[in-house]
Structure 1
Amino acid sequence: MLAAVTVALSLLAATVGCTRVETAPAPAPGESTDKGLAAELRLGYFPNVTHASALVGLEKGLFAKELSGTELIPTKFNDGPTEVSAFLGGSLDAGFIGSGPALNAFAKSNGEAVRLVAGGTSGGAQLVTTADITKPEDLAGKTVVTPALGNTQDVSLKKWLVDKGLNDKVQVTNRENAQTFDAFRKGEVQAAWLPEPWSSRLVLDAGAKVLLDEKELWRDGKFPTTVLLVRTQYLRDHPQTVQALLRGLLAANDFAQQNTAEAKLAVNKQLEALTGKGLSAPVIDRAFTSIELSTDPLAATFPQLAKDAVTAGIAQQETKLAGFVDLGALNAVLKAAGKQAADAAGLDQK
């Protein structure tokens, strides 16, 4: 099931120079437009614990089981902006992705290319620092790292810096997470706003301390770190295939909740296969304590997230969210499983 790791580079390469954007509208509620099960489903995800739903679903064969008759092509990405390019280039059908890039994909395509169809993970992001930094003001004159320009943690950090009056006093740079880990240990950077497992790795393996857990900034500590996007045309053409994917997602979440130890092993096997190195038991244990796996995309948070992107200087204007969310397939799956429906918070209306 991990053979697609080798395919990822070719898929990403194919993205370069490809600018086609699907513009067909999403199906109306209750409309059946399925042209049969799709021949394939190209699924994006990251080698992060915040993508545990994807990693468990792949490792345990839960997506493949539900997608019987459809070839599943998993494609690894290291950051959201790169995955957005794949979506907009038409080389990706569905993908687990951060909330910031999800909004960006919708905005860049004028609300046409993608739909938010489910959640993935809430929580799992922290601002970690050297021991001498004990309050926000201590960051003045320091360098803070995020995974990529415009990614979910980049937006969160920059918005928080504005709120603290530090946006012109702190240098923000972007590095791949593994590079940040090495740079922190060498003393080249003093702080980083990172997703799991990297915040845990810096704390446990590099001597960092937690200055802020992003949960503290959100009501009930819930915010969408990872969500599931589907290309609009794919959703229109193959709603039953999307439902099969969502059944796999629900199965992965249920498995992780009922078999936590096995879920950690599954995630670690995937990480080792994808990156060449797994996590220590203390790191993966700590990382799992800070995340919550859920199919609920927490749609009601997205208007605030759209405002945050402007405050952070990532977007020039708030993304118009009408039609961004389509939970028809998800709620059909949840109803069949006897579970409570997810709320689109009115963002499913054009």
Structure 2
Amino acid sequence: MNNLSRRSRIGAAAIAAGLLTTSLTACSGASAHDDAIRVGYFPNLAHAGAILGVEGGYFADHLGDVDLTTEVITAGPDAVTALVSDKVDMAFLGPAPAVNAYLKSDGDVTLISGASSGGVRFVARPELVESGDFSGAKIASPALGGSPDVALRYWLGDEGYAVDVPDAENGVSVVPQEPGQSVGAYASGAIDGAWMHEPFVSLLEDAGAEEVVDERDLWPGGQFATTVLVVRTSVLEERRDDVEAVLAGLVDAMDAIDSDPSGSRAIVASFIAGQTGLELDPALVGKAWSSIDFTTDPLEDTIESGARRAVVQGVLDSADLDGFVDLGPLTEVGGSE
């Protein structure tokens, strides 16, 4: 597929964005045909590859006669549940819940690709940022045990705060909530800040919050796995061609992001707005988009480091990832290993 055809299809998909979306409620994990591939993903910018794969038709193109059904998920633990309960075959999710799914499934989850790096920040009320003291603050994360949640708890602990000990002199409460609720929660005073994905932290900045930490600054070279793609190992073994078809669609979606970033942003922003009900200014989306590196490189070292941090936080029982990653299928379709 050449770049011109990608751009043309992106433009057409932008008009239909939102209409093609299949929600979690609508799908409920069911498919019209027994051979359907079921893919889960989140409505945020770090999942642009997945969103474009669906909305731009890239997954469907490579799957051919095999049906594609989708699950729109808003939290990592929900993605883990969907995987281990056989509601989805493949899922785009953060590295911490991906590892959790691997451990909970006794190895029946395999990481086969990266999808993004960056695009996660901590923002808070200006007076807290100015004082540098977050004691007594209520900070939101997308979900208990999600990658931003682990990063937030690790950072707070490293800074000497007592996490979820509100009565302590230096106590900070972590408030798990859906990202789409964060702006309203901030305005009402229910939270004082959030460690979340884009575009939600940029929306909080529009509401008056200021940046505390860009998570890129906490990792060597500014690179860390934000979104990865996993598949149930049994599905990979039994339906490798279909799994590789989705991977080929992801590679095409990544090419589309490179060749037509503005068109890609329009599709992704429209999808997120349709899922969350939040208005997304194109300038805000463009700024937030620039903080994300869309790549199929899973950045394995950062996944292992994150898993060790999650063990310290009590989110994971183990950081033993032997056998978790298989990039062979990605290599077969021309992705980077």
TM-score (norm 2): 0.87
* Amino acid aligned to 1:187: G
Deviation at 1:142, TM superposition (A): 1.0
Q: Is the 8 A contact 1:2 1:74 kept in 2?
A: no
Q: Is the 8 A contact 2:90 2:232 kept in 1?
A: yes
Q: What is the aligned length?
A: 311
CA-to-partner distance for each residue in 1:70-102, whole Å, 9 max, x for gaps?
Answer: 101111001110111010001111111111110
SS at match of 2:126: coil
SS at match of 1:134: helix
Residue 47 (structure 1) aligned to one of 36, 43, 47: 43
The question of 1:8 aligning with 2:24 is answered yes
Give RMSD over aligned pairs: 1.9
* Amino acid aligned to 1:300: D
* Amino acid aligned to 1:99: P
Rounded Cα–Cα distance in structure 2 between residues aligned with 1:172 and 1:165: 15
SS at match of 1:286: helix
Deviation at 1:271, TM superposition (A): 2.0
Among the aligned pairs, what percent are the same residue?
36
Unaligned runs of 5+ in 1: 15-37, 343-350
Q: Is the 8 A contact 1:117 1:327 kept in 2?
A: yes
Residue 200 (structure 2) aligned to one of 198, 201, 204: 198
The aligned counterpart of 2:114 is 119
Rounded Cα–Cα distance in structure 2 between residues aligned with 1:164 and 1:135: 16
The aligned counterpart of 1:185 is 187
The question of 1:139 aligning with 2:155 is answered no
Rounded Cα–Cα distance in structure 1 between residues aligned with 2:132 and 2:281: 33
Deviation at 1:3, TM superposition (A): 6.8
Rounded Cα–Cα distance in structure 2 between residues aligned with 1:269 and 1:143: 30
TM-aligned CA distance change 1:233 to 1:13, over 3 Å: closer
Q: Is the 8 A contact 1:162 1:311 kept in 2?
A: no
Q: Is the 8 A contact 1:303 1:321 kept in 2?
A: yes
The aligned counterpart of 1:226 is 227
Deviation at 1:269, TM superposition (A): 2.6
Deviation at 1:312, TM superposition (A): 2.0
User: Which moves more between the two structures, 298-307 or 228-237?
Assistant: 298-307
Rounded Cα–Cα distance in structure 1 between residues aligned with 2:130 and 2:315: 25
1:33-112 equivalences under 5 Å are: 39-110=35-106, 112=107
Deviation at 1:277, TM superposition (A): 4.5
Q: Is the 8 A contact 2:45 2:268 kept in 1?
A: yes
Residue 129 (structure 1) aligned to one of 111, 114, 124: 124
The question of 1:215 aligning with 2:216 is answered yes
The aligned counterpart of 2:13 is none
Rounded Cα–Cα distance in structure 2 between residues aligned with 1:279 and 1:190: 22
CA-to-partner distance for each residue in 1:153-212, whole Å, 9 max, x for gaps?
Answer: 1000001111111134211111111222101112222121011110111112x1111100
CA-to-partner distance for each residue in 1:17-50, whole Å, 9 max, x for gaps?
Answer: xxxxxxxxxxxxxxxxxxxxx8211000011111
Rounded Cα–Cα distance in structure 2 between residues aligned with 1:131 and 1:217: 21
